[in-house]
Amino acid sequence: MKTGQEKAGGIVLIGFMGTGKTAVGRRLAGALGLPFVDTDTLIEEQAATSIPDLFRTRGETGFRAIEKQVIHSLADGERRVVATGGGAVLDPDNFDVLRSLGPVIHLSAPAPTILARTKGDAGVRPLLAADDPLERIRSLQRERAPVYGRADHEVDTSRHTIDETVEMVMAWTGNGERVIRVELGEDSYDIVIGSGCLGRLGSLMRSFDLTDRALVVTHPDIATLYGERAADSLRSAGFEPAVIEVPAGEAQKSLQWAEKLYDAMLSHRMDRRSPVIALGGGVVGDLAGFAAATFLRGIPFIQAPTSLLAQVDASVGGKVAVDHRRGKNLIGAFYQPLLVLASLDTLDSLPDRELRAGMAEVIKYGVIADAGLFTYIEGRLDEMLMREYGALAHLVARSCEIKADVVAGDEREHGRRAILNFGHTMGHAIETQTGMLHGEAVAIGMVYAARVAERLGMLDGDSVQRLISLVRRTGLPVRCDGLDASATLETMKLDKKSVGGRLRFILPERIGAVVIRDDVPNDYIRSVLTLGT
């Protein structure tokens, strides 16, 4: 896995005006002991005039020419924290120079937030001199989104304080750890994200009131790669781990395998404060979590996900379950873990097909809640599929942020949490019918849901095509030929997301926003199941 450490030692902040580049840059430079430079300040020094006067006397063309000289002058080998003007990166040469200086961080914020922060600044911000400054901001954001999407990481500064933003940037660029809190009152817990943090499993668990006997649930390939590292970490912290290996595959998510885990817990003489650790992907997490939730009416549970799908989705939120022969996850509970430990280096060993399947859940988050994340994926997909550390760190962290926020507001899926099921209503049925990987089926389900939204007049065709294009580029399927539409519909009606016999669909209104609908005509569903795309 490539890391941000392989770049030069500086840090570059890009983004729209009003996103906090200067404030964050100064704080970041102070924390790192590096000099801070603001390219707009350097431009004013070189031109011996203010930027508004420069725009008046030489126009934007003259301003951009001096800006280019200033940016190229920074390529002198000195380590700095650099904050750029909002449009500086539109010049490809500028972007290449800035990227050579160190990791590029995009600071973003919604247009209304930017307007509120810059209100009254039209005199010193020439690009805001418009009859409708809000629409002007939105127009410029749309124009610049593809370039901003090339950044190594993105932080929405409307959601984070300056100190939080600095902490995130330092973690990403220093290859350190990031901690995201899932706020659920007494059941709150941390998601720890970093490279190599599996070695801290035991020490992190020692902060909880646990007894020493622990059960690690994993599968053979993961046990070979990471089992000893996890067990050594537990032993060094004073735990006595037993390891049980579950064969890979969805078929093991069963009551029969849950019983085998109960037997292992009894043989290891575990009590109500003995922890269960799920080391593996979504199947291991669901099965181990279900067993932990039901053994002795519930014992402590820790998630140590090793697949992309598990790190961004399955390990967070407390859904644990086993399958029934007639449907996925029909027997389960809401049972929150004590801790989620996402060690990003474990993604190095993930087969390409599973990495791509995990990307379906990441794309989902972009569609349901964050258009900026969707654009980021479009711009950085090749690096993600090559397992570039910075890109994957951002994907995992942002996905976990979105899920943590949704779960905190609706732990047991009485309302908004249902949006996390985008692509899953049809996806689960397709998975049951075909046996394909979960993420592959969800990818098809997302495309089909977008097609339904288009037919209902909710979603424009261009957005549908953006989704289809990104799914295809990821190497995931966009259709499933040969489905028995009637049988698939019946499978969908058995899904736990069905309420009162009515299917609930999560349908996009645009990239970044979805609604919950239970009034989709069956003919529309049959149509997309039969015709695909």
What positions carry a catalytic annotation? 297, 319, 361, 403, 413, 417, 421, 424, 428, 438
Residue whose structure tokens are 């970041």: 28
Query: Cα separation of 207 and 136, whole Å?
Result: 50
Q: 302 - beta bridge partners?
A: 277, 339
Contact by Cβ (8 Å): 345, 1: yes
Alpha-carbon distances, residue 3 vs 24, 174, 274, 309 (angstroms): 22, 9, 36, 21
Contact by Cβ (8 Å): 344, 307: no
Query: Cα separation of 340 and 396, whole Å?
Result: 12
Query: Cα separation of 211 and 232, whole Å?
Result: 17
Strand-strand pairing, 301-305 and 339-343: parallel
Report DSSP state, residue 499: B
The three-class DSSP label of residue 17 is: coil
Contact by Cβ (8 Å): 233, 227: no
Among positive and negative, which fits the CA dihedral 161, 410, 197, 307?
A: negative
- Closest C-alpha to 86, from 120, 56, 121: 121
Contact by Cβ (8 Å): 281, 218: no
Alpha-carbon distances, residue 162 vs 19, 40, 183, 202, 409 (angstroms): 10, 20, 21, 32, 24
